[in-house]
Amino acid sequence: MATVARNMVDTLAASGVRRVYGIPGDSLNGFTDALRDSGIDWVEVRHEEAAAFAAGAEAALTGELAVCVGSCGPGNLHLINGLYDAQRSRVPVLAIAAHIPTSEIGSGYFQETHPTEIFRECSVYVEYAASPVQMPRILTTAMRAAVQGRGVAVVVIPGDVSLSDAVGTAVTAVRAAHPRVVPSDDELAQAAALLRKAKRVTILAGAGCEGSHDQLMALADMLAAPIVHTLRSKQFVEPDNPYDVGMTGLLGFASGYRAMDACDTLLMLGTDFPYRPFLPEQATVIQVDVRGEHLGRRVPLALGLVGDVASTLDALLPLLHRVRHRAHLQDSLAHYATTRAKLDDLATPRRGEQPLHPQFVGRLVDELADDDAVFIPDVGSPVIWAARYLSMNGRRRLIGSFVHGSMANALPQAVGAACAFPGRQVVALSGDGGVAMLLGELLTLRQHRLPVKVVVFNNSSLNFVELEMKSAGFVTTATGLDNPSLAALAEAAGLKGFRVERSDELHDALQAAFAHDGPALVDVVTERQELTIPPSITLEQAKGFALYAMRTLLSGRGDELLDLTRANLRQVF
């Protein structure tokens, strides 16, 4: 007689699941035993948080359901940060959260938690299977919720239930449906009328533009509209795009901000862009999103349309006329060219043993990486350099914790990317704080022989936090990190390690790491005082930095202020 766990595994296999990420535990014994001859790979990590991040990365890159598991109590509790990231990134992940024995639930038993309550906020579906009779219906319902709701589904099941005889053994394959969602004819006509009246249209293209590149280019040409992209849409919008004027927002730069500030009509496509101070205050705003509940969350709308971007633009384009006056587009492109040149001028080597400019590291990684590389930056300063210096070509991918904003995402997400695409180059751009937080996943790379290349921006600080604190006028004694050689740590873990302390060493070290047949870590000593200038600075931000400067001088730390100023004058002018 098949067990409940066996039936669960058979259902996953029939639905195309290729691997499961996790750490074993006695409450998972039935499930992990059923995996042995299933054809599904067991990918053991060193921390359950990494399991959830790895599954989220696989789902982001493949679009298919990915699975992670956690044993009862602390085991599945560790999944939560990675599951929050997957939920907010809208990628389909199934988490199987084992529970304590059924007979002990509610008694304050060893490792008892309440998983359905814990995971409710970071899931589209969470349910507790208290009896074999509930399975496999709960499992298939959860899987459908994950793939159709594009989020996390959690099945909570006690170990004794998973070892019980299955009541029904029929196996159902669960696959995602891909509907076309188009606004009504009246709504499309209203959108066309607003766009025909506009003098200066700017497009803000988000991650929802995936799969609509041709339509987006046709629309930009029709409206003579510059395209500003978000970080999540960079990989989809930037390639082969003559209308691209860069990013805006906290990680963006001046040309994207200016193209939006100068428009009279803003067309938001597939984006829930959260940074309201960067949105124009007086423009007419039209928003297209497949999630109707997200329309108008950030800025008042003249019109909100519910639809997927590709289908909506297919229906809208025939209603428009080609704009003949293209000054707004030409001005925006010229400003982007100037801004791009200034950014490239910052990506230069330094003399002698001075810490490297992180811009130079980003530029060289871009030049030496494969044409179809997968890049995964840590949240913090690495994501800034990825946004500004990695070039997308339609084959490269760029993923990260871009909505949830978790530290230490790059290394565990690289595990999932490398498992899903064996033989494809995966480059984790880690901060020294980020790689240290989940340092054990270096051992996961070694154990599974995953040839991930980890490039560490080692500035001996929690740099992004430090810069935020300084700009707000706070003293930053808590952000320093006393690091040993991370390359030596990598070597001890079984990776190939490279230590780079001079600009003239970087090219050869990266080239050797990328060519190495196995996991490698490049520990690059970078400038701690490198400031990232946002596209605009508010009066309050200026006051904050002035307050920081005054406190620094009064405390006798004038050298620190001088170092910060010297390091960043070249970015301002």
**Catalytic residue list contains 287:** no
Q: Is 111 annotated in the active site?
A: yes
Integer Cα distance of 568 and 44 in angstroms = 44
The residues near 145 (Cβ < 8 Å, ≥ 6 apart) are 124, 125, 151, 153
Edge-to-edge strand ranges of the sheet holding 397-398: 397-398, 374-377, 426-431, 453-458, 520-525, 496-500
Active site residue 235: no
Q: What is the CA radius of gyration of the chain?
A: 25
Active site (annotated) includes residue 48: yes
Sheet (strand 93-99) strand order? 41-44, 19-22, 66-70, 93-99, 152-158, 125-128
Catalytic choice (17, 20, 48, 187): 48
State the catalytic residue, choosing from 379, 383, 426, 456.
379
Pairing mode of beta strands 152-158, 201-205:
unpaired
The active-site residue, picked from 104, 111, 124, 474, is 111
Quick one: 278 exposed, middle or buried, by C-beta within 10 A (0-12, 13-18, 19+)?
buried
Active-site annotation holder among 402, 457, 464, 498: 464
Closest-CA residue to 432 (of 385, 390, 487) = 487
HEC string for 527-572: CCCCCCCCCCCCHHHHHHHHHHHHHHHHCCCHHHHHHHHHHHHHHH
Q: Which residue, among 364, 406, 407, has the nearest Cα to 385 in the 3D structure?
A: 364
379 included as an active-site residue: yes
> How many Å apart are CA 97 and CA 4, to the nearest integer?
14
d(CA 306, CA 289): 5
Alpha helices in 393-502 (DSSP H): 410-420, 432-437, 441-447, 463-471, 486-492
Q: How far apart are CA 79 and CA 156, in angstroms?
A: 13
In the chain, the amino acid numbered 92 is P
State the catalytic residues.
48, 110-111, 379, 464
